[in-house]
């Protein structure tokens, strides 16, 4: 096999591989552009936002209920007449050893 034929074959094979790779990259870029251009369904987006809004509102209501219960318990504890006297711990005694 002559050197010219060998070199021509090598260039042809490498060129084909590079061309196919570039074609795949170009097709992928076109696919990505097409995917970005497809509009999001407005109705679907509105429904999703409505579900998020309902979840936030229900969470706020639950937090308000918890805080109201906390205030109520704090008021009950503060208004107790016969509050439990906490036993104070005796002071530690240092013994010589």
7-57 pLDDT, tens digit per residue, is 899 999 999 999 999 999 999 999 888 877 666 678 888 999 999 999 999
Give the start-end residues of each E strand in 25-80: none
H or E stretch covering 88: none
What does the alpha-carbon distance between residue 6 and residue 42 come to, in Å, rounded to a whole number?
A: 60
More confident position, 92 or 14: 14
What does the alpha-carbon distance between residue 23 and residue 27 come to, in Å, rounded to a whole number?
A: 6
More confident position, 1 or 61: 61
How far does Cα 44 stand from its chain's mean position? 21
Q: What is the pTM of this model?
A: 0.42
pLDDT exceeds 90 at position 1: no
What does the alpha-carbon distance between residue 9 and residue 11 come to, in Å, rounded to a whole number?
A: 5
pLDDT score for 49: 94
């Amino acid at each position: 096999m002559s050197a010219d034929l060998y070199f021509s074959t090598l260039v042809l094979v490498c060129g084909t591989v590079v061309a196919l790779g570039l074609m795949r990259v170009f097709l992928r870029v076109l696919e990505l552009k097409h995917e970005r251009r497809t509009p999001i369904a407005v109705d679907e987006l509105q429904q999703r936002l409505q579900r998020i809004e309902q979840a936030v509102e229900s969470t706020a209501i639950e937090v308000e209920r918890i805080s109201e219960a906390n205030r109520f318990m704090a008021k009950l504890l503060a208004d107790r007449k016969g509050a439990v006297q906490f036993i104070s711990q005796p002071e530690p005694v240092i013994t010589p050893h």
